[in-house]
């Protein structure tokens, strides 16, 4: 049955100015188990890399966008490609992720395990995320209360966990739910795209499940000497990215499908992180401009 799911699956890899070594390592891992398509977001050197990417037998297409259209639109182009070509499931990946052995097989087994247990629709399954720089494991978070809750087992399973949020990279998406939940929110461009989609899926009654059966090595944000960043409490991004994260999270605070527990906790976290950047960073004036602009522009999003 797991092999049947693999036959009806494909992987979508979104790239932007990729490190070719890391990208080709990911594609080599995928090539062993599933077909894949690469969506490039206007990288200036992508045409030089197409030959290296296309050499893989499982590479079915390389779609090159003229300019950076954002992560959400690139994912939607990939999802639309998958649907058009008859796929039932899509694995979503960032360009710099690395997989455990037999990742696709392990994920499809986890999906089948969760599907047999749930009495709801199953929108997506996500792997355990480990930061290769720190070996910190990201916990599967639940936001339906004011108190922090994570790694809550799913129906007493030893390897499945209830999740209100799965990060994009590594997620196995059930494409049947796209008709009801919808595509990724393109106006978000990059940050919180996965968070917003997960909240929508949960509001429609779907389950999201995390699993220990598969591991994806992925660093969220940039390197930093800060203990908060190294412990995974917050992610470090450049000032320009702070604009999108500020704008999109404030927009999500106003969404009726966002969990109230997340809104309260994240507002506190966002406030503390902003204060930390404005006090501790040498680029505090730039951060102030981007954070202020993001908060102001949240009302312009659809």
pLDDT of residue 221: 54
Tell me which of 188, 217, 246 is where a domain ends.
217
Q: Looking at the structure, do residues 231 and 213 belong to the same domain, yes or no?
A: no
222, part of any domain: no
Work out how many domains the chain is built from and give that number.
2
Spans in the chain with pLDDT lower than 70: 1-3, 145-148, 221-237
pLDDT of residue 81: 98
pLDDT of residue 248: 98
pLDDT of residue 225: 53
Q: Looking at the structure, do residues 33 and 147 belong to the same domain, yes or no?
A: yes
Q: Angle of helix 71-84 relative to helix 193-203, nearest 10 degrees?
A: 50
Identify the domain containing residue 200 by its residue range: 2-217
Write the CATH number for 96.
3.90.550.10
**Cβ-contact 66, 75 below 8 angstroms:** no
47, part of any domain: yes
pLDDT of residue 238: 81
pLDDT of residue 85: 97
Q: What sign for the dihedral angle of Cα 86, 193, 145, 237?
A: positive
pLDDT of residue 54: 95
pLDDT of residue 231: 52
Q: Looking at the structure, do residues 140 and 251 belong to the same domain, yes or no?
A: no
Q: How far is CA 18 from CA 22, 218, 243, in A?
A: 8, 14, 22
Q: Looking at the structure, do residues 82 and 105 belong to the same domain, yes or no?
A: yes
With tokens 């800060």, the residue in question is 226
Secondary structure (3-state) at 79 = helix
pLDDT of residue 119: 86
**Cβ-contact 83, 180 below 8 angstroms:** no
pLDDT of residue 21: 94
pLDDT of residue 92: 98
Question: Does the reported pTM lie above 0.95?
Answer: no
Q: Looking at the structure, do residues 52 and 142 belong to the same domain, yes or no?
A: yes
């Amino acid at each position: 049955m797991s092999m049947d799911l693999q036959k009806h699956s494909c992987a979508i890899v979104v790239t932007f100015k990729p490190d070719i070594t890391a990208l080709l390592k990911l594609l080599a891992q995928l090539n062993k188990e599933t077909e894949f398509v690469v969506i490039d977001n206007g990288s200036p050197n992508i045409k030089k890399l197409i030959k290296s990417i296309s050499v893989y037998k499982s590479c079915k297409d390389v779609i090159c966008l003229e300019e950076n259209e954002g992560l959400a639109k690139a994912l939607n182009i990939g999802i639309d490609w998958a649907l058009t070509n008859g796929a039932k499931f899509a694995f979503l990946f960032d360009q710099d992720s690395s997989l455990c052995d037999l990742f696709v097989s392990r994920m499809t087994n986890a999906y089948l395990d969760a599907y047999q247990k749930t009495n709801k629709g199953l929108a997506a399954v996500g792997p355990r995320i480990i930061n290769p720089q720190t070996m910190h494991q990201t916990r599967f978070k639940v936001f339906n209360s004011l108190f922090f809750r994570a790694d809550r087992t799913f129906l007493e399973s030893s390897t499945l966990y209830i999740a209100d949020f799965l990060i994009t990279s590594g997620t196995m998406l059930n494409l049947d739910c796209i008709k009801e939940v919808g595509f990724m929110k393109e106006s978000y461009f990059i940050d919180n795209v996965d968070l917003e989609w997960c909240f929508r899926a949960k509001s429609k009654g779907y389950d999201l499940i995390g699993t220990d059966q598969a591991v994806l090595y992925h660093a969220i944000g940039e390197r930093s000497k800060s203990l908060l960043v190294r412990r995974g409490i917050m992610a470090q991004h450049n000032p320009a990215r702070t604009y999108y994260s500020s704008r999109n999270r404030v927009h999500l605070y106003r969404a009726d499908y966002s969990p109230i527990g997340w809104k309260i906790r994240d507002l506190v976290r966002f406030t503390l992180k902003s204060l930390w950047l404005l006090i501790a960073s040498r680029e505090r004036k730039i951060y102030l401009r981007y954070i202020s602009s993001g908060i102001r522009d949240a009302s312009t999003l659809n």
